[in-house]
Amino acid sequence: MTFRGVCSWHGVCDSDSELGSLETLERGSTDTLTNGCRADADAAKRLAKRLFFLEGFKRCDVARHLGKNNEFSQMVASEYLSFFDFTGLSLDRALRNFLKAFPLMGETQERERVLVHFSKRFCHCNPEALTSEDGAHTLTCALMLLNTDLHGHVCT
């Protein structure tokens, strides 16, 4: 598996000032750094890089910053996924590689939002694949359910 940054975001904000601090986010804040204007693309890129390389974060912290339902979190998730290169991999192999680096945690909706970003990235890396982003997402969710059914039994 190789990693690279490919995607770019062109966020616009009315203010030239920094919209918040990553240190606040490190302590577990749910601030979105938007302050009433469009999310700061540069801050999203920096946070995504720090999350990917675990600079000041633990692996278990990553999901918290990618799965929220706001513009900033979506930008961070997209930037984070841009570090993964799934080119030439089957969907199941790409999903395995992704889940080795990223512990998928959180509520169901948060997990699904992350899997949507995974599916988009998979399709971006494999434009010749015979599936759409929706198809890749459906298959990804099916694989996750099969894995849960296979390994999620509770002993009584």
Amino acid of residue 79: E
CA dihedral 18, 25, 9, 125 (to 10 degrees): 160
- How far apart CA 120 and CA 124 sit, in angstroms, is 6
Q: Is 107 a catalytic residue?
A: yes
What is the rounded distance in angstroms from the CA atom of residue 4 to the CA atom of residue 7? 9
Cβ neighbours of 7 (radius 10 Å): 16
* Cα–Cα separations (whole angstroms), residue 10 to 34, 44, 75: 15, 11, 10
Q: Which entry of 18, 26, 71, 107 is annotated as an active-site residue?
A: 107
Tell me the catalytic residues.
Answer: 107
